[in-house]
A and B are shown apart, each in its own frame.
Chain A
Amino acid sequence: MRDARGDVTRPIGARLWLSGAWLALLVLAALCAPLIAPKDPLMQDLFLGRMPPFWVTGAEPGYLLGTDSLGRDVLSRILYGARLALIVALVAGSLTCFIGATLGLIAGYYRGWPDRIISRFVDIWMAFPPVLFAILLIAVMGPGLVSIIIAIVVIDWTRFARVIRAEAMSQGAMDYVASAQVAGRTRFGTMLTEILPNVLPTIVALLTLEMGIAVIIEAILSFVNLSISTDSPTWGGMIAEGRTSVHQAWWVLVFPLITLFLTVLSFSQLGEGLKDRFDPVLR
């Protein structure tokens, strides 16, 4: 197929469709949570504790995915939990990407002393166990949304720096970079106009992957009760709570877990799909 500019286009693959659809649904859920959530996610009703989902006998009408031990609606909590998950994914993901990719690009293209400094820093940084590092950071800064985002950026920028440095290095060795310089372009200009467009597909793929990882880290932090305040619903918090009563009420654990799983999977698949589609070399 060809589009208006005469470019060959490919139909969007199932992978891109499915992951895109799931994430769009999630964004919608996060934006309209107050409108579409059947119940108040914080409302407790101890008489309705551990009600099963709708298809199991003994289910309470109105509570589609059942209730937790305090009688709170699981579906509503998942919908509200999407808000925090997506904010963390977007903000922490893009900040990590920006900082890591910038440093990686400079190290890989300029080489010399900037590379030595950045690379040694990355080596040292990567020796810390990441999750422990995050928990330590939160413990020091105190829980809260900003702390979570800072912790994710601080532990994960190295991933971008490493990969983008290697990409920038291999692109920098290509003849077209040399000819841009022979044409009198500055080094900084060459980096932005010649190198950056060629590492962009990798940056996008990594960014979506990072968004998934950010969601996981946030879930881990809520799991150990270091995320934001305990009463606002988070997927990780729900999983932690569901774990304790998995034999009596599996749904409290399973539904947030499935949501988390699908979300992280969708982010990584979206990245791969976008890379396939927009990388001019693979296309």
Chain B
Amino acid sequence: MNSFLEVRNLNLSLKAGMPILRSVSLNVAAGQVHGLVGESGAGKSMIGKAVLGTLPRALQVTSGEIWLDGVNLNSLPTAERRKTIGAKAALIPQDPLTALNPSKRIGPQITRRLVDILGWQKSDAEARAVELLHEVHIPDPARVMKSYPHELSGGMRQRILIASAFAAEPKLIIADEPTTALDVTVQKQILRLIAEMQQRHDTALLFVTHDLGVVSKTCDTLSVLYAGKVIEEARMRRFFTRPIHPYSAALLKATPTYTNPRGSLTPVPQSVIDATEREVREHDMRASR
């Protein structure tokens, strides 16, 4: 299988020493949708941030490699790496409310990417931006191009961010919980839209979420992340019928069903929080010794 994105044994820790990701490996094949599931705090978003080079200051990669389209990103100098990532990957962020610059109109925020990454002329970029907004089903794109972000709803803004992510035709999109900040009714539309855009543009998609229901509908393969470790990597069908790791099985059992709505849910044996707390205690003990 030829991977477009390959993460090899990535270790990530707080600069203070506490590990966040432990030897994480991940493959996303070209044109495929790969789900990345896990509880809050498992480190899902950090994988995406590590790939895009937008990790928070307090974190650092201690070892491991990230290969994007056959290029080892770690081997490139900073400016070069940034260019490569910009040309090949894009992000659909979690919170559409903070992902657009509040003091700029929508139009320039989309066209800027085309000018920055593809070196287009401004007029061409504008025409393309209108087209893209049309593609994500925004009515009256010409007017929206002239609007400020605060004049638009959350769902509209997420559509714009999707349009802008696909604008420069990247071969990999990282969607970091793209529906978490939205209403349930809007969530479904946005999911459908992402799937539609992914197929039309034939991009690989790394879908970060804690929602197994969403994964089952959209992904080809998935990784389950638990306390910074990938504990299971599987094809979709197999995962839902025969999960291997007990945690995966527990996770699936914890899904509420319509057939037995009053039955109590099976809790997951040990949450990430417990595991993390234990980790912190051990780390402190080691430090005090």
By a beta-carbon cutoff of 8 Å, the part of chain A in contact with chain B is: 5-6, 111-112, 174-176, 178-186, 194, 197-198, 200, 280-281, 283
Contact = CB atoms under 8 A, between A and B. Distances in A.
B150 A183 contact: no
Q: Which 4 A-B pairs have the closest CB atoms?
A: A184-B86, A175-B99, A197-B103, A178-B54
B112 interface: yes
Contact of A183 (B93, B101, B112, B148): B112
27 contacts: A6-B146, A112-B57, A174-B99, A175-B93, A175-B99, A176-B101, A176-B109, A178-B52, A179-B91, A179-B93, A179-B99, A180-B101, A182-B54, A182-B86, A183-B113, A183-B117, A183-B168, A184-B83, A184-B86, A184-B87, A184-B117, A185-B116, A197-B101, A197-B104, A200-B103, A280-B148, A281-B150
Interface residues of B, number: 34
A111 B56 CA distance: 12
A174 B93 CA distance: 11
Given A178-B54, A182-B52, A184-B117, A194 B101 contact: yes
Nearest to B99: A175
B186 to A, nearest CB: 18
A179 B94 CA distance: 12
Interface string B71-107: 0000000010011011101110111001111111000
A53 to B, nearest CB: 49
B53 interface: yes
A183 B116 contact: yes
B222 to A, nearest CB: 24
B85 A182 contact: yes
A74 to B, nearest CB: 46
B51 to A, nearest CB: 10
Contacts of A181: 53-54, 82
Nearest to B174: A182
Contacts of A184: 82-83, 85-87, 116-117
Contacts of B104: 197
Contacts of A112: 57
Nearest to B176: A175
Question: For B54, B100, B103, B116, which residue has the most chain A Cβ atoms within 10 angstroms?
Answer: B103
Nearest to A177: B101
Given A179-B93, A283-B150, 5 more contacts: A6-B146, A178-B93, A183-B113, A184-B116, A198-B101
Contacts of B86: 182-184
Nearest to A178: B54
Contacts of A176: 98-101, 109
Given A182-B90, A184-B117, A280-B148, A174 B98 contact: yes
B165 to A, nearest CB: 9
A152 B5 CA distance: 56
A280 B149 CA distance: 9
A98 B277 CA distance: 47
Contact of A281 (B99, B102, B109): B102
Interface string B125-161: 0000000000000000001001010100000000000
A161 B82 CA distance: 30
Contact of A186 (B52, B79, B143, B164): B79
Contacts of A200: 103
Contacts of B112: 183
A281 to B, nearest CB: 5
